[in-house]
Structure 1
């Protein structure tokens, strides 16, 4: 039985995306958090919790709602309310060193997923 010759052909289909994908990702995204930990001696863990804490000095909350890049360094830390030089229950904070890494801002909201975010 002979087969009939069919000319090769191509079909063009239009691509229609069915979900949104951001082209720029989290570029220029900022965290918005309040500097709200009670005053005391501020410490942070530059090498991670469980390592030696570094003392930044006396801390007074500025109560400002800061905007910091999600690319900035945030550290686990504590405010030593009892003034015994170590972290005790209820003293945990997240520390942001400021835009020039020479300051200390602390928030008691330990879950960064709950922080407001925005594009700068």
Structure 2
């Protein structure tokens, strides 16, 4: 079967789920990778990940560094689908990353570093 990589954030929101601990070294689902000339091409699903990113993601799931929890209550579920709350929250960034907070992704695809 196919893994819903490009629509993962929307699916999580619709199901009332939040994924926490996304590895900092792995591109967020559905995001395009910038090419060497600075342009971005449409993502081709999970194949956009480099081998090291795929390994890091697999390891994070296997070692339970990534957790998936269900939000309780209609208001919180609505906040997920309306992108008021993030559906994917990254792991804490490395100290040399320049970011003090984790990245987080919302159902609409927006990513910020306020996690």
From the two aligned structures, give the one with the greater strand fraction. Answer: 1
Q: With the length of structure 2 as denominator, give the TM-score of the two structures.
A: 0.24
Q: Which has the higher contact order (CA 8 A, sep 6+)?
A: 2
Larger Cα-atom Rg = 1
Q: Structure 1 or 2: larger helix share?
A: 2
- Normalised to the residue count of structure 1, the TM-score between the two structures is 0.23
